[in-house]
C-alpha cells in the first residue's frame, strides 16, 4: 500500500524556539537571508507564527503555530495551477513535490496556496565565504527566479529509499525516516509518519479530538494535523474573523 506521509504538531508543546526553521534551512540548503530581505520576501520552508487570543493582560495567552507546506491531498491547489507541471504529488508518498529546474517562476502556485507556504527566490542564493562547505550534498540549491517549498526533506527520503532498496525492501513499502524539523524540535512537538498506517503515532494523533487542520473547510485535505487543548488555538485553524472596521493585527 502507498504511504501518505503526514505530521502532527502539538501547538501546546511548541515554544517558538525556531530550531525547526534552522534545521530545515541547513538540511535543505536554504541560503541565509539577503541583506535586502524581510519577513515578506525571505526564504523559509517552515515559518513559526506567534498568535494570541486577542485578550488584554492578564487574560492574554499566546501560542506558536509552525506553518509549512500542508501537503494537500485533495485537488492540491498548487498542482492544478502550475502551467508546466513543475509541481506534482508523488502517489507513493502523498508528498507534494516542486521541481525548481522546470519552474518558470510565474508564482501562480503562490497565489493559489492558501497557507502562504511557498517561497520565491527573489535573489541569487549566496553563502558567506566558507559556509558553502556546510551545504548538504544531497539537496540541490535553487537558483534565482524559482519557487521552493517544504517537501518533507526529500533528500532524507531518497536516502532512506536507497537504504531500503539495499536491504531488499520492495519499492511499494513505505520507508522510515524523519524530516530535519522533527529531529530538531527540542520539545517533541512535531511528529512525522505514515497517516495510512493506523498504528503509527501520527495516524493516531490525527484522530484525536483536539486535533485540527488549517482551513479544513476549503477541502484541500492537508496532511499536517495540529493539536491543542485550548479552544482559542483550535479556532485559529478557521478563516479570519476580523472585528468590523478594524484591521486584524493578531498574527
Partner 1 sequence: MDKEFIARGAKRCPGGKFLLWLLPWALLLGFGLYAAGLCLVLGLNQTNMDNRFAFGLWIFLDLTIIAFGAGAFFTGFLLYILKIGELKAVINSAVAIGLVCYSGAIAVLMVDVGQPLRAWFTFWYPNVHSMLTEVTFCLSCYLTVLAIEYLPIVLKNRRLREVPSMLVFEHELHKLIYVLAGVGTFLSFFHQGSLGGLYGVLRGRPFAFREGLAVWPSTFFLFILSAAAVGPSFILLTTWMAEKISRKKLVRPEVLRLLGRISGLLLAVYVLAKTLDTLLWLNRTSPERGFPAWQYYSWRPFGTWILFAEIVLFGVLPALVLLTPRLRARTGWLVSAAAMACCGVALNRFVMTVQTLALPTLSFDRFLSYYPSWQEVGTFLAVVAYGVLVYSFSFRYLPLFPEERELKVEALAEEEELAAAGRY
231 near partner 1, rule: CB under 8 A: no
103, 175, 189, 224: which one binds partner 1 (CB under 8 A): 103
Told to check if 89 binds partner 1 by CB under 8 A, we report no
Stretch that binds partner 1, among 14-22, 162-170, 173-181, 241-249 (CB under 8 A): 241-249
Q: Does 230 bind partner 1 (CB under 8 A)?
A: no
Selected binder of partner 1 within 13, 145, 197, 230 (CB under 8 A): 145
Near partner 1 by CB under 8 A: residue from 120, 126, 163, 198 = 120
Q: Which of 96, 146, 175, 181 binds partner 1 (CB under 8 A)?
A: 146
Contact status, residue 96 vs residue 72, Cβ threshold 8 Å: yes
Residue 217 binds partner 1 (CB under 8 A) = yes
Q: Can you tell me which of 67, 96, 195, 203 binds partner 1, judged by CB under 8 A?
A: 67
60 binds partner 1 (CB under 8 A): no
212 touching partner 1, by CB under 8 A: no
State the Cα–Cα distance between residues 213 and 232, nearest whole angstrom.
Answer: 14
Q: Which of 113, 191, 188, 197 is nearest to 148 (CA)?
A: 113
Q: Considering CB under 8 A, how many residues would be counted as binding partner 1?
A: 69
Q: Is there binding between residue 201 and partner 1 (CB under 8 A)? A: no
Binding site for partner 1 (CB under 8 A): 34, 36, 38, 40-42, 49, 51, 65, 67, 75, 77, 80-86, 102-108, 110-116, 118-124, 143-147, 214-220, 235-251
Amino acid at each position: 500500500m502507498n504511504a501518505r506521509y503526514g505530521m502532527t504538531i502539538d501547538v501546546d508543546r511548541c515554544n517558538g524556539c525556531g530550531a525547526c526553521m534552522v534545521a530545515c534551512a541547513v538540511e535543505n540548503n536554504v541560503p541565509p537571508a539577503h541583506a535586502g530581505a524581510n519577513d515578506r520576501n525571505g526564504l523559509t520552508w517552515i515559518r513559526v507564527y506567534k498568535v494570541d487570543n486577542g485578550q488584554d493582560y492578564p487574560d492574554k495567552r499566546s501560542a506558536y503555530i509552525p506553518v509549512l507546506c500542508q501537503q494537500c491531498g485533495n485537488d492540491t491547489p498548487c498542482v492544478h495551477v502550475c502551467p508546466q507541471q513543475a509541481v506534482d504529488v508523488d502517489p507513493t508518498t502523498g508528498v507534494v513535490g516542486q521541481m525548481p529546474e522546470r519552474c518558470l517562476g510565474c508564482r501562480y502556485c503562490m497565489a493559489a496556496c492558501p497557507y502562504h507556504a511557498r517561497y520565491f527566490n527573489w535573489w541569487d542564493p549566496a553563502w558567506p565565504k566558507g559556509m558553502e562547505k556546510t551545504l548538504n550534498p544531497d539537496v540541490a540549491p535553487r537558483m534565482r527566479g524559482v519557487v521552493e517549498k517544504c517537501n518533507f526533506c526529500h533528500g532524507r527520503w531518497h536516502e532512506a529509499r536507497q537504504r531500503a532498496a539495499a536491504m531488499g525492501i520492495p519499492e511499494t513499502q513505505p520507508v522510515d525516516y524523519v524530516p530535519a524539523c522533527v529531529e530538531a524540535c527540542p520539545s517533541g512537538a512535531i511528529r512525522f509518519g505514515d497517516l495510512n498506517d493506523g498504528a503509527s503515532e501520527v495516524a493516531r494523533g490525527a484522530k484525536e479530538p483536539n486535533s485540527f487542520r488549517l482551513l479544513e473547510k476549503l477541502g484541500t485535505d492537508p496532511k499536517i494535523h495540529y493539536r491543542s487543548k485550548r479552544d482559542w488555538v483550535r479556532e485559529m485553524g478557521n478563516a479570519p474573523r476580523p472585528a468590523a472596521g478594524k484591521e486584524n493585527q493578531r498574527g
